């Protein structure tokens, strides 16, 4: 096994759990190569170059670390399954996969669970796990100091976002999707494969499936007054599709053309400035280890019997 972890993710808690995690891996019969990351994009390069030598790659960190590992794996012809121990401040995709929040339990899932083939996004040739977005709040996660993320968690995103509300700007874009084309002024857009964004559940809409080959697209139009802005926020937080100010659709491919270069974020990290963006869904491209519910129920039953 190749075990890659970000030692600075989410208060650096993994340092206190490292022995127990590695012990779990070894007890399952794995010979473990441990690699703490030293720099951004190191995990991506490591996995792209060396994953073929291993039966399983396990990573620990936030959504950004998982993004690097998945991106590295996507550049390989022969791919191996990925285990994920989430230690970030939000862990949107881990929540979507219903992975345990306890690190030791997540380690057990990584080696005892079952592989789940999930979709991966491709934006202009670069891969993302669960979200590509532009506009309002997209600069928040990669613009917020790490110390804030560690101390405040979700509140850090909200506080940093609130500071920029008075400078809300819009982007005129042409959108091509599902054989249709339209245009408009948008303050925010996201292409997602997740049940939560920024820690908020249901923002991506109902009936989200991570392996159906479809993205959930949300585009928010520029509000003309505070009442319309309140209508937008109310619709997002209640997950009600009852406003004409939000365009929502499921699709496997979308093309957005802006009049100027627009900053994008991919899985919470800066994704570059683009005038034209084409995003496609690569269906069931990566195997990620998730809880085997049947096996978990069996284990729980045996634990109860042994206590009695």
Domains, the chain, ordered by start: 2-113+291-307 (3.40.50.10330), 127-283 (2.60.200.40)
Percent of the chain with pLDDT over 70: 78
- Strands, DSSP E only, in the chain? 2-5, 33-36, 57-61, 82-86, 114-123, 126-128, 131-135, 171-177, 180-192, 196-197, 200-201, 215-221, 246-251, 253-266, 269-290
Q: pLDDT tens digit string along 4-40? A: 999 988 777 888 899 999 999 999 999 999 999 999 8
For 177, 186, 187, 189, 244, the CA distances from 170, given in Å and listed in that order, are 20, 5, 4, 11, 17
According to the model, what pLDDT value does residue 159 have?
Answer: 47
Residue among 260, 204, 250, 210 at smallest CA distance from 99: 210
CA distance 64 to 88: 9
Q: Are 232 and 220 in contact (CB under 8 A)?
A: yes
Mean pLDDT throughout 274-292?
97
Q: How confident is the model at residue 141 (pLDDT cuts 50, 70, 90)?
A: low
Instruction: Give the integer Cα–Cα distance in Å for 273 and 75.
Output: 22
Residue 302 vs residue 172, higher pLDDT: 172
Tell me, what's the pLDDT at 193?
94
The predicted pLDDT at position 137 comes to: 57
- Which tens digit of pLDDT belongs to each residue from 34-81? 999 999 899 999 999 999 999 999 999 988 899 999 999 999 999 999
Give tens-digit pLDDT for 151-164. Answer: 445 445 544 554 55
The answer on pLDDT for 145 being more than 70 is no
**Does the CA dihedral 110-133-239-248 come out positive or negative?**
negative
DSSP strand pairing (196-197 vs 2-5) = unpaired
Residue range 151-205, pLDDT digits in tens: 445 445 544 554 555 667 889 999 999 999 999 999 889 999 998 776 555 556 6
Residues 207-243: tens digit of each pLDDT: 899 999 999 998 988 877 767 777 776 676 665 666 7
Residue 298 has pLDDT above 90, yes or no: no
Average pLDDT over residues 288-301: 71
Residue 302 predicted with pLDDT over 80: no
pLDDT at 20: 95
């Amino acid at each position: 096994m190749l075990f890659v972890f970000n030692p600075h993710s989410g208060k650096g808690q993994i340092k206190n759990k490292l022995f127990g995690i590695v012990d779990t891996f070894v007890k399952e019969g794995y010979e473990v190569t441990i690699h703490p990351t030293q720099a951004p994009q190191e995990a991506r390069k490591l996995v792209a170059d060396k994953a073929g030598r291993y039966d399983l790659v396990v990573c620990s960190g936030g959504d950004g670390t998982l993004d690097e590992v998945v991106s590295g794996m996507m550049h390989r012809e022969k791919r191996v399954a990925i285990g994920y121990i989430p230690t970030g401040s939000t862990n949107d995709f881990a929540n979507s996969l219903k992975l345990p929040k306890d690190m030791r339990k997540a380690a057990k899932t990584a080696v005892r669970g079952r592989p789940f083939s999930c979709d991966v996004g491709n934006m202009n040739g670069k891969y993302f796990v669960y979200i590509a977005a532009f506009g309002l709040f997209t600069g928040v996660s990669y613009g917020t100091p790490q110390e804030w993320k560690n101390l405040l968690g979700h509140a850090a995103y909200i506080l940093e976002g609130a500071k920029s509300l008075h400078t809300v700007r819009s982007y005129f874009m042409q959108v091509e999707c599902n054989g249709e084309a339209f245009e408009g002024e948008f303050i925010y857009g996201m292409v997602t494969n997740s049940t939560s964004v920024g820690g908020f559940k249901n923002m991506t809409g109902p009936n989200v499936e991570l392996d159906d080959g479809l993205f959930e697209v949300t585009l928010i139009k520029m509000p003309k007054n505070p009442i319309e802005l309140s209508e937008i926020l109310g619709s997002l937080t209640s997950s009600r599709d009852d406003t004409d100010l939000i365009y929502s659709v499921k699709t496997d491919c979308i093309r957005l053309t802006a009049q100027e270069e627009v900053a994008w974020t991919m899985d919470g990290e800066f994704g570059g400035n683009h005038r034209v963006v084409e995003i496609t869904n690569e269906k069931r491209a990566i195997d990620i280890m998730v809880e085997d519910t049947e096996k978990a129920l069996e284990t729980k039953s045996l634990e109860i019997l042994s206590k009695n």
